Structure 1
Amino acid sequence: MAGTGALMASAAPGAIAQTATTTAPVTDQASDKTGPRSAQRFDIAPGPLDVTLAQFGAAAGVPIAIDPAMAASMHSDGLRGTYTVPEALRALLSGQPLEAVATAGGGYWLRPSALTGPAPEVPPPLPISMLAEVTVTAAPGASGDDNYRATTVDLGAMGHRAIVDLPYSVEVITRDQLDNQQAASLVDALKTDASVTPISNNIGGLSSQIAIRGVGLDLLSGRKIDGLNIFGWSGDLPVEHFEQIQVLKGASGFLYGFAQPGGIVNFISKRPTDTPKRDVLTSITDSGTMLLSGDLGGRFGTDDRFGYRVNVVGETGDSYVKHGGRVERGSASLAVDWRVLPNLVWGADVLTVNRRVTGSSSWGIFPNASGSETDFAVAQPPPAIPGSRRIFSPFTSYETRARVYGTDVSWAFAENWKASLRYRGSTMERVYMNGSMFVNRVGDYTEVQYGGTDQFDTDDVQALVTGTVHTGFIRHELVFGTSYGRIRTYFSSVTNEAVLGTGNLANPGSFDNPHLEAPPADTLGSYTTQRAVFASDTLHIGEHLDVIAGLRRNGLRDSINGYDKTAYTPTGAVVFKPLPALSIYGSYMEALEQGATAPLTAANAQEVFAPLKTRQVEAGVKVDRQRWYASAAVFRIQRGLTYTTAQNVFTQDGESRYDGLELLAKTRLTARWQLIGSVMFLDAKNETGDPTLAGKRVDGTPRQQAKLYTEYRLGDTGLTLTGGLQYYGARPIDSANTATVPAYTLFDTGIRYEGRLGGARTVVRFNIDNLTNKAYWLTSASYLTQGAPRTFKLSARIEF
């Protein structure tokens, strides 16, 4: 085998494009002539054997030499799990007529096995300079294979961890899944996780709003970018600028500080790529919305020390709401980094967003018995209205503008020790010229328009030190940190309002435009600061038992509304791992959430309440095998109760309890067939408080939800068929359970083609969401919004 004709995968910079995901070795690194002996986690998709071997070599840092002609017709099932290098090679070559022979230089040479043909003598170690560099990319038609499974996550105060080792429920939506489902919002992105309930979308409502385990995301602290807080509930973050969306389910007090106990959504930014990236995407919907985006990344300078990533997105056209619905948005992001030293990296990023929706975006539809705007007693709503039907006046609008920026520095200052300092700031402004509708069961309604401006400014900084020490036979993973956050909210001191008219939803009226103005945000509504110090210790006791203990001291002060509270939020957990791929855990978490703020439509609008404490217990099991992943969790969450009284007064009193069971599985049934399934059973009740509410279900919570997504690749044609199902149980609209919205089921389908056009990799996707054009209501805090109708999406991505 001539050196110049061989394929070599090594850890040398620039040698290959690494697409495998790895985690830190689970034992101390040691090597000899047979290569690294430490067990390491691999996540390598199926594909041609030479591709998977190259990915493995890069991930393991081990040179692999093979004659390309020998592997040209061979296919590998990929590699998922924790292996030493010899174990991994045996798994990769299982069923192949090849064997791996160690070389004196610490690498491996692949040759025909003794059972299939003559084995030539083992050659001397091959210097890297003798071998041609190759660039490895995913084979056409294989982009969906196992690329929907992430093995690690960044989890606040716990740092970077393997998901299977965590005593909490975590889901990760990868870039491949976002692309292949053509997700345009947070609601779209999380449609495969049954623990997530959509409560508003970004066309019929103000923005994409979700509940996790029946609890809505915290309005001020529920969304993060790269683990740091931003204000994002009043306007959607454009998903095109993010590599992953990570979802922590349940209370997050120790991990992230103040937040409602449903969970946290963490958007992971796109970062500079080690290999050049040049992508262009164009898409169109059946209503006429057109989108164009570009993604550019790479490195330059001596030793590729400088990296960049640029993303630009523009979208305009008619929304799916007929006769007046329109959407216009633009966004751009830039991320850069500088590898100052091999162990010292500085980075910075900025994102700007501008989005405007007309003719549909609303505060919501309030169901009452009279259809009058002065009636705030909840009653049964009318039957669901198709999302494509216009019911709000076409001159109403909702616009958001945002700037998000951040910087960070990371320093590996000693073996197994790392320090980081990160900052993120954001400014979100919304100009609302939209309104609410008050509707009775037969469709009689009154439409009201509001005009005003809100502004939200955030700053968040965190210092973190992580490291490993040993005390006897126990290995400690230590985390020490401190954080400071600031949130300022401003609103218009005068909010304009006009009753546009009355009518019936069977034939919505055409009202005169009152030409309301949106006064500027001139009043400081709240000035909140959050201060925290935290520490945790993960004790690895032998190979099978982990014990986690953590404590966070939280301080919350609102200088405008007059409260200053400090509390300790501990966490404790035990993880038992009888097998490397199996974990059984139990955990306890406390959380502190900022007091609720009365909505604009309440009689005590803008009133801010004191903080609330939450307790959560959870137990579960996780299995992470090469071809499948599964998890199950049972949980109980106890939190303070908030509701609006029959007198339209928003209050915070009593306690609610959430008992639930979650099941999730991701599996590759065959090399071509992939499946994601999840289900949640939830019993959420008001335990104490107003006697008329005790024992009633918490508003907006279903008893069960189920979701299914599948893909099947049609041989080597480049075509992949997709299908999805989402079932949502019936939900009470209000705390008193006066009215409910019925259960509904949505179906999705699609097809995509992956191939090459003029030498460039091209992916064409065609998706149909809500295939049967089901009409349904989304609900939150006694208000309803229309669900999205059947939508056709066609896109093409070209990678240069």
Structure 2
Amino acid sequence: MTSFFPDARWRQAARRALLRAHLTLPAALCLTAFHSPAIHAQEAAVFLDIPAQSLDAALIQLGRQTGLQVFYAPEAVSGLRAPALQGRLTPDQALARLLAGQPVDYRREGREVTLNRSDVTQLKPVTVLGNTLPPGAALQQEGGEAEGYRVRTVSSLGTLGAMDIRDAPYAITVVPRDLITNIQAQSPDDVFRINPTTQSTTPQMTGWAPMVRIRGFGTYDTAEDGLRRPNSFATSMEDKERVEVLSGLSGFMYGAASPGGMVNYVYKRPTLERLNSLTVGNYGGSQYYAHGDFGGRIDAQGRAGYRLNVVRQDGSTAIDDQKVDRTLISGALDWQLTDRLLAEVNASYHRYRTEGASAYWTYRPGVSRTPVPDASKQWSQPWIRDEFEKTRLMGKLTYQASDRITLRGSVMREYHDRPVQDHTMNSGRLNDEYYQIAIRSGRTKNEYQAATLMADIDLETGPLSHRLTLGYYGYSDKSWATPDSPNTGWLGPFPRSAPVHRPEPVFPDTASRPYYSGKMENQNLFLGDVIEFGDQWTLIAGVNHSRIRTRSLNAQGVRTQPDYDQRRNSPSVSLSYKPLSWLTTYATYIEGLEQGGVAPEEASNRDQIMAPMVSKQKEIGVKASVGGTLLTAALFDIEKAYEFIDGGNTYTQDGRQQHRGLELTASGKVSERVTVFGGLTWLDAKVKQSALDGKMPMNVSRTVAKLYSEYAFAEVPGLALTGGIYYTGKQWADDANTSRLPSFTTADVGLRYATKVSGKPLTLRLNVNNLADRNYWINSYYVGPPRSVAFSAQMQF
């Protein structure tokens, strides 16, 4: 039985976000009650307070207040109104009163209710979930392998909260848990590789925070469970429910950020049913690991639940003399304190150690970048080390103050302790040789904080329905730097035919106490209004008052540059039109404030912060549900200030950078046995009003195309062939457009087999990445990863 979504309107969609899941399930699951079919015959009456409103909204309230799950299709409730209900009623009595005189029939089995309109035959159902299903558990029902990894809901759009992807007037892609698991993703790089709108720019194995390129703009900006942070060092994927990627400006939703987009990592939440899962495997090379995933309810009433993920990994990667040693413990607790108050808590501890982190490459003008260095070789040094210890705490409260007011609050704090950080830089100076410098930095620390306080208010003015959202959104980064960063000096020349490894030098002691080096914070006050014009038109208008403040200090506590304090109002307006229930069109204009870039290490003005930048985006798009596939298309035009290293080796800000392009994506089932997840981005990127007028920004490809697919064999139930092909066009390796990187195409292939052993589900996975073992530049600084073979066995019990 295939499922459809009801026509969700903006006000209702945001209000139901925490308590509604849109499911596409096979018939057997849709008709399986959580309780005996006879349970409703002895149910007690409960107090209900449901105002007169649309039948769609009334059913949502009924689900919240009784715990019923109601299945229906858009046509079943379209244009219908429901009377007010107040007082003590059994769920059956409430259903009968809501549906009295309506052209709707219903059937109840246990806690599930299926609605059918009298004049529509064989309607296909969806689910509205009441307060028996916490929001995290609701997300778990989406994006499954059986659905072709197609998701319905984005868990967070910052200030706007959760929303139906089809209705959101923004370009959004989501990599859900089942897909993360099936490609055996170890780091964000694996997710960015298959996601159609992202390109990995700074791989995690370099020791730096993973940088991703979206619509041609690089960004470190990330969020975790919707809470902002400036970067995401040493990120693991085993405790993530999904990775949500918003393409383009996010100033209204998330505050100051890069115009490329926002990556939101969503943590796993407690499960409704008992979950015990154990996976053992290898991520490539000899990176053997064990991963335990456990969840369930704590109390008999099911109001509190837990989730625990534990990972232990140790071994060498597919690159010579490179090793990863990590331990992850990540837990979550949800507690429905009252029918109107939900508490969510997260805590995690992560220890991540790397040996032989990948090298950073630069080339002098005129020096050829071919042949590409052999990616399987260790072009750094085996004794290069990087260590992280991270502790994260997060808490959220959601309070349904009334049927028209919802309060949302959250706070997050994360501590980073980095005892040692080594980096290697290679410099190509002649066509057949390179020089190298190795740097060892002492202990550094960071303390990240984020907090939100928001109110959602529903009201009506004449024929218009409003959902006002207002509140505060902020985050900060306190940093402690090291006074010691000894290095080897530039050594060489070495032949580029093979790397040269040298004995580890005796560096000076770098164990001195780190000093407080400053703070960066972004505070936002916002007001937004979601206005409905009937069933087809929706307008979103809002403004974000964003303030950026930074302070930089040296080891003596003296400011290294004047304090940075900039603020601006960033407006946003979107208009959506739904000519058909399965088709959405939209137009969006949004602005955003972004902190100026920081001069890189190779610039003469290293670490200098540039002036703040204002970015502007215009976008029109369309989203369509065709069968079991979600198709999206977006035309965009983005402008921001241009920053580059000039001829005098000074990092500067001059002119504008404009990216115009087309973004296409597809996800879901194209047939019963074929799944697709892919897309295309075409860019016309150029610099204007600058000394580099007409040039294309460096490290930007005109075309990126990706297609991941799966085929399920009918002859062998449970067996699937998986794989993908990923193309990146040519990129300029310098700002002056004198050196160009060739295009590259990589391919993955894999097999998955799901069966049962002694009645317990067992899944075997095999993935080969970069099948042809091709050497290529992912950008002007880093070589792409070599071929690697990952395999695992997962047992649920």
TM-score normalised by the chain length of structure 2: 0.82
Q: Quote the residue 2:380 is aligned against.
A: 392
| Greater mean deviation of Cα atoms: 398-407 or 578-587 | 398-407
Q: Which amino acid aligns with 2:738?
A: T
Q: Quote the residue 2:56 is aligned against.
A: none
What root-mean-square deviation, in Å, do the aligned CA atoms of Structure 1 and Structure 2 show? 3.1
Provide the C-alpha distance between the structure 2 equivalents of 1:696 and 1:521, rounded to a whole number of angstroms.
46
Provide the C-alpha distance between the structure 2 equivalents of 1:232 and 1:429, rounded to a whole number of angstroms.
15
CA shift, 1:55, in A, is: 8.0
Contact 1:247 1:265 in 2 (8 A): yes
CA shift, 1:609, in A, is: 2.2
Q: Quote the residue 2:704 is aligned against.
A: 705
Q: Which amino acid aligns with 1:168?
A: Y
Contact 1:391 1:505 in 2 (8 A): no
Q: Which amino acid aligns with 2:235?
A: L
Q: Quote the residue 1:227 is aligned against.
A: 226
Contact 2:108 2:114 in 1 (8 A): no
CA shift, 1:159, in A, is: 1.4
Partner secondary structure for residue 736 of structure 2: coil
Partner secondary structure for residue 237 of structure 1: coil
Aligned partner of 1:531 among 504, 515, 523: 523
Provide the C-alpha distance between the structure 2 equivalents of 1:81 and 1:637, rounded to a whole number of angstroms.
38
Partner secondary structure for residue 43 of structure 1: coil
Measured against aligned partners, the alpha-carbon deviations of 1:318-377 in whole angstroms (never above 9, x if no partner) come to: 11112x221111111111122110110112111222212212333x01112xxxxxxxx5
Q: Equivalent residues in 2 for 1:150-229 (5 A)?
A: 150-153=151-154, 154-204=156-206, 206-217=208-219, 219=220, 222-229=221-228
Q: Quote the residue 2:777 is aligned against.
A: 777
Contact 2:537 2:575 in 1 (8 A): yes
Provide the C-alpha distance between the structure 2 equivalents of 1:586 and 1:683, rounded to a whole number of angstroms.
20
CA shift, 1:54, in A, is: 3.1
Q: Which amino acid aligns with 2:580?
A: L
- 2:508 pairs with 1:506: no
Partner secondary structure for residue 32 of structure 2: helix
- 2:360 pairs with 1:360: no
CA shift, 1:515, in A, is: 3.0
Q: Quote the residue 1:334 is aligned against.
A: 331
CA shift, 1:427, in A, is: 2.2
Q: Quote the residue 2:783 is aligned against.
A: 786
Q: Which amino acid aligns with 1:255?
A: M
Q: Quote the residue 1:669 is aligned against.
A: 670
Q: Quote the residue 2:680 is aligned against.
A: 679
Contact 2:276 2:294 in 1 (8 A): yes
Q: Equivalent residues in 2 for 1:489-568 (5 A)?
A: 489-499=479-489, 500-516=491-507, 517-518=509-510, 520=512, 522-560=514-552, 561-568=562-569
Provide the C-alpha distance between the structure 2 equivalents of 1:223 and 1:654, rounded to a whole number of angstroms.
27
Provide the C-alpha distance between the structure 1 equivalents of 2:751 and 2:371, rounded to a whole number of angstroms.
33
Measured against aligned partners, the alpha-carbon deviations of 1:632-685 in whole angstroms (never above 9, x if no partner) come to: 001111001111223332222221111110011124222111122300101111
Provide the C-alpha distance between the structure 1 equivalents of 2:35 and 2:611, rounded to a whole number of angstroms.
55
| Greater mean deviation of Cα atoms: 204-213 or 275-284 | 204-213
| Greater mean deviation of Cα atoms: 507-516 or 569-578 | 507-516
CA shift, 1:271, in A, is: 1.0
Q: Which amino acid aligns with 1:366?
A: T
Q: Which amino acid aligns with 1:352?
A: Y
Q: Quote the residue 1:44 is aligned against.
A: 24
Q: Equivalent residues in 2 for 1:269-418 (5 A)?
A: 269-322=267-320, 324-362=321-359, 364-368=360-364, 379-418=367-406
Q: How many residues are aligned here?
A: 696
CA shift, 1:305, in A, is: 2.6
CA shift, 1:405, in A, is: 1.4
Provide the C-alpha distance between the structure 2 equivalents of 1:50 and 1:669, rounded to a whole number of angstroms.
22
Measured against aligned partners, the alpha-carbon deviations of 1:154-198 in whole angstroms (never above 9, x if no partner) come to: 101111111111111011110011011111111211333332122
Q: Quote the residue 1:457 is aligned against.
A: 447
CA shift, 1:394, in A, is: 1.1
Distance change (3 Å), C-alpha of 1:378 and 1:213: farther
Provide the C-alpha distance between the structure 2 equivalents of 1:704 and 1:714, rounded to a whole number of angstroms.
33
Q: Quote the residue 2:426 is aligned against.
A: 437
Q: Which amino acid aligns with 2:251?
A: G
CA shift, 1:473, in A, is: 1.8
Contact 1:401 1:429 in 2 (8 A): yes
Measured against aligned partners, the alpha-carbon deviations of 1:439-473 in whole angstroms (never above 9, x if no partner) come to: 14523011101111433221111001113222222
Q: Quote the residue 1:92 is aligned against.
A: none
- 2:52 pairs with 1:54: no
Contact 1:662 1:678 in 2 (8 A): yes
Q: Quote the residue 1:251 is aligned against.
A: 249
Partner secondary structure for residue 145 of structure 1: helix
Measured against aligned partners, the alpha-carbon deviations of 1:285-311 in whole angstroms (never above 9, x if no partner) come to: 451110111111111125223221111
Q: Equivalent residues in 2 for 1:103-122 (5 A)?
A: none
Distance change (3 Å), C-alpha of 1:784 and 1:85: same
Aligned partner of 2:796 among 778, 794, 799: 799
Can you give the 5+ residue segments of structure 2 that lack an aligned partner in the other structure? 13-19, 42-70, 80-103, 116-139, 553-561
Q: Quote the residue 2:470 is aligned against.
A: 480
Contact 1:273 1:298 in 2 (8 A): yes
CA shift, 1:20, in A, is: 9.1
Distance change (3 Å), C-alpha of 1:28 and 1:203: closer
Distance change (3 Å), C-alpha of 1:799 and 1:165: same
Provide the C-alpha distance between the structure 2 equivalents of 1:331 and 1:760, rounded to a whole number of angstroms.
26
CA shift, 1:102, in A, is: 4.5
Can you give the 5+ residue segments of structure 1 that lack an aligned partner in the other structure? 1-8, 10-18, 30-39, 64-78, 88-99, 111-137, 369-376
Partner secondary structure for residue 736 of structure 1: coil
Provide the C-alpha distance between the structure 1 equivalents of 2:512 and 2:350, rounded to a whole number of angstroms.
19
Provide the C-alpha distance between the structure 2 equivalents of 1:441 and 1:224, rounded to a whole number of angstroms.
42
Q: Which amino acid aligns with 2:636?
A: F
Partner secondary structure for residue 177 of structure 1: helix
Contact 2:367 2:431 in 1 (8 A): no
Aligned partner of 2:457 among 449, 455, 467: 467
Contact 2:469 2:529 in 1 (8 A): yes
- 2:713 pairs with 1:696: no
Aligned partner of 1:428 among 405, 413, 416: 416
Contact 1:493 1:522 in 2 (8 A): yes
CA shift, 1:491, in A, is: 2.0
| Greater mean deviation of Cα atoms: 199-208 or 643-652 | 199-208
Provide the C-alpha distance between the structure 2 equivalents of 1:496 and 1:628, rounded to a whole number of angstroms.
55
Contact 1:433 1:518 in 2 (8 A): no
Q: Quote the residue 2:265 is aligned against.
A: 267
Q: Quote the residue 1:658 is aligned against.
A: 659
Distance change (3 Å), C-alpha of 1:770 and 1:103: closer
Aligned partner of 1:237 among 235, 238, 257: 235
Contact 2:625 2:631 in 1 (8 A): yes
Partner secondary structure for residue 145 of structure 2: coil
Distance change (3 Å), C-alpha of 1:109 and 1:284: closer
Provide the C-alpha distance between the structure 1 equivalents of 2:580 and 2:687, rounded to a whole number of angstroms.
40
Provide the C-alpha distance between the structure 2 equivalents of 1:710 and 1:313, rounded to a whole number of angstroms.
28
Distance change (3 Å), C-alpha of 1:582 and 1:426: same
Partner secondary structure for residue 496 of structure 1: coil
Q: Which amino acid aligns with 2:762?
A: T
Provide the C-alpha distance between the structure 2 equivalents of 1:708 and 1:766, rounded to a whole number of angstroms.
19
Distance change (3 Å), C-alpha of 1:108 and 1:149: closer
Q: Quote the residue 1:617 is aligned against.
A: 618
Partner secondary structure for residue 391 of structure 2: strand
Q: Quote the residue 1:131 is aligned against.
A: none
Partner secondary structure for residue 254 of structure 1: helix
TM-score normalised by the chain length of structure 1: 0.82
Partner secondary structure for residue 51 of structure 1: helix
Provide the C-alpha distance between the structure 2 equivalents of 1:239 and 1:556, rounded to a whole number of angstroms.
30
Provide the C-alpha distance between the structure 1 equivalents of 2:283 and 2:758, rounded to a whole number of angstroms.
26
